Amino acid sequence: MSIMAERLASRGLAVTILVGLLGLVFLLAVTPLLNLHRGYDESIADLRYQLNKLTGVEDRLRLLKEQRDALQARTGNDGQLLAGDNEAAAGANLHARVKSIVVGHGGTFESVKVLPAKREAHLQQIPLKVRASGTINALQKVFYDLEMTQPYQFINSLSIRADDRTAWRNSVAQDPNLVLDVSFEVHGFRRAGAE
């Protein structure tokens, strides 16, 4: 029996060693693969979440771009901004408009100087320095038309002078036909980058 017991013990030891080796192989090879697979599953789930989030952001961005384009199309054609494909054309349009308003109300358009354009946000300011003359009633109508009609213009640095000889003898209250010399800056806006 002792041979049989030795064989049985040796087979038991072999099976135990085999099971131990299989466990060791499982621990060394299969467990890291399972952990790696679990990590990939978590990574895939995270990437799916980010994809859904970014798809939502992309849809929101597309909607905002459509709204921006609609606003630009609407504000670009409503007459509030100066017409002109570039700064020089917009300045020429503003010059012609100011001249026609001054002359149209009986004033005298004496000179104009184009000042450097300035950028303000998405708009470009087109300024002019104007010298003109006219009666107080004519100048009041000129200033009203410049600031209250479209495209919008704004008056800055207004200087009014009367001829010294007539100013001593007459006042505006006594003579509404007293001619006044005016110098002012007027500016309008055009869409920047619309060239």
pLDDT at 63 > cutoff 50? yes
Beta-bridge partner residues of 136: none
Phi and psi torsions of 157, nearest 5°: 50, 55
Phi and psi torsions of 170, nearest 5°: -125, 155
Instruction: Read off the pTM.
Output: 0.57
pLDDT at 96: 92
With beta carbons less than 8 A apart as the criterion, state whether 186 and 94 touch: yes
pLDDT in tens, 118-171: 888 788 889 999 999 998 889 999 999 988 888 888 998 899 887 665 555 555
Q: How far apart are CA 168 and CA 161, in angstroms?
A: 13
43-50 mean pLDDT: 89
Q: Which CATH number fits domain 87-191: 3.30.1330.10, 3.30.460.80, 3.30.70.60, 3.50.50.60?
A: 3.30.70.60
Domain ranges of the chain: 1-78, 87-191
Cα-only R_g, the chain: 43
